[in-house]
Amino acid sequence: MMTAMIRFCLAFLLIVGGIFSSRADPADLVKAGVEAIQNNRWDEAIRVLSEAIAAHGLSDRDRASAHVNRGYAYFAKDQTETAIADYTAAIRLAPNDADPHSLRGWAHFTQGAMKQAIADSTTAIRLGPNLAFALRNRGRAQLYAGQARPAADNFAAAVKVAPSDVPGVIWLHIARVRAGQADQQEFAANLAKVDRRTWPGPIADVLSGAITQDKLGDIAKSAQGNKPQDERVCDAQVYLGLLQLAASDKDEARKLFKAAVEDCPLGVAEATERAVAKMELKRLGTVPARSAAKPTAPRQSREAAVESMDAAPTGKPPPPDLPQSRPGILVHGTVDIDSNPQGAEAKLSLGASCETPCSMEVSTDVPFTVTFTRKDYLPSTISVQIQPPQTGVSDPKFAPNPVFARLAPTAKKPAKPAPNKPTTPQ
């Protein structure tokens, strides 16, 4: 009886010891954490990966992987600062790995830290030149930092790497519009390469006129496809909002972005779209640019998503102090404004204003003025004309752009002479 009991105890200890040994192996813990992440079990992933990081015997490469994956899990739980700390730890352990740089840049972008997002994405691209994700992230950060032209270059590089990705094609188009670059032919050619069989490919069908926005909404809300319904709805709201801005319909864009802020789910999948909706609402709210001519609602076709040059003019004449300049040509673009010294209020004759240095989206078919005012400086007014298009070369654009004013200080009033002090009688 005693012998049998001893054998049973030994067998039990061997089984328990084997299980304990298997679970305690740091490399296996990392694998278990990665598996938990793949199944969206964020809390489990954080717990298991924390055990792996705390364990001894883990190589620097595996420990860096544990930090990257735990950071990703924290990011999914909307704990961005903690995620950034994990990505930073991974970079210290594996400085030549592009992933932690790319992911930290993404986290910085969602926080609105564009300078850090550009720096991290640049390092990731240096380590992995064909990383479409890093190229797009740097492009977005540059776009929202007011650097539309380099943003377009990054989006163009991303489209070359991933030509069938419709968000990349849309981002390139948005950057071209905001940089004042003609892209009708490029946009059409890129749309033709998009894979429309899976989401978000159907967005391209709206741009080509194959389906309406309402039909796209029905597709997004349907139960079909691998991507969850709320994520598809979020995608549709944000990307259609961006395209409405490109088509000069700020009111409709504002509605879509507001809906996106309310509807986009928390988590990794829609982190970019959620951040973009908030940024665009802020831009629309702080600079409510009003145009002299309200553009017509965009048609459900590709041409409507491209800069609208054939909107019906209102016939409103230009301000009396400006020469007639090809009325009826609607121009939509970003006007960059600066002054020396900076900190001046720049007010457009169309109604919007901002503090220099700044950028404003303007849609108008008539010339306008920008008036600069600053305390202790004389006001200055700059006329902005509409430069006609060059067939096959460029679209209509604003000139000058950027708009710059050097302000002259006001003349100081001479100081009043001090009254003569009476002499003290001796």
- Residue 370 is assigned to a structural domain of this protein: yes
**Helix, strand, or coil here: 346?**
strand
pLDDT on residue 212: 84
List the chain residues with pLDDT less than 50.
1-2, 4-6, 8-22, 286-328, 421-426
Transcribe 309-337 into DSSP letters.
Answer: --PPP--PPPPTTS----TT--EEEEEEE
pLDDT on residue 95: 93
**Helix, strand, or coil here: 350?**
coil
Inter-residue contact 100 to 64 (CB < 8 Å): yes
- Residue 235 is assigned to a structural domain of this protein: no
- Residue 426 is assigned to a structural domain of this protein: no
For residue 363, the enclosing domain spans 309-406
- Residue 59 is assigned to a structural domain of this protein: no
Q: What is the pLDDT of residues 383-421, one digit of tens each?
A: 888 887 765 556 778 889 899 998 888 865 555 555 554
- Residue 139 is assigned to a structural domain of this protein: no
- Residue 208 is assigned to a structural domain of this protein: no
Strand 331-340 with 403-406, pairing: parallel
Separation between Cα atoms, residue 344 and residue 354, nearest integer Å:
8
Q: Which helix (H) or strand (E) holds 398?
A: strand 397-399
Both tokens of 375, joined, read: 């305390």
Q: Is 119 exposed, middle or buried (0-12, 13-18, 19+ CB in 10 A)?
A: middle
- Residue 119 is assigned to a structural domain of this protein: no
Question: What's the pTM value of the predicted model, to 2 decimals?
Answer: 0.62
Counted domains in the chain: 1
- Residue 65 is assigned to a structural domain of this protein: no
Both tokens of 64, joined, read: 């860096």
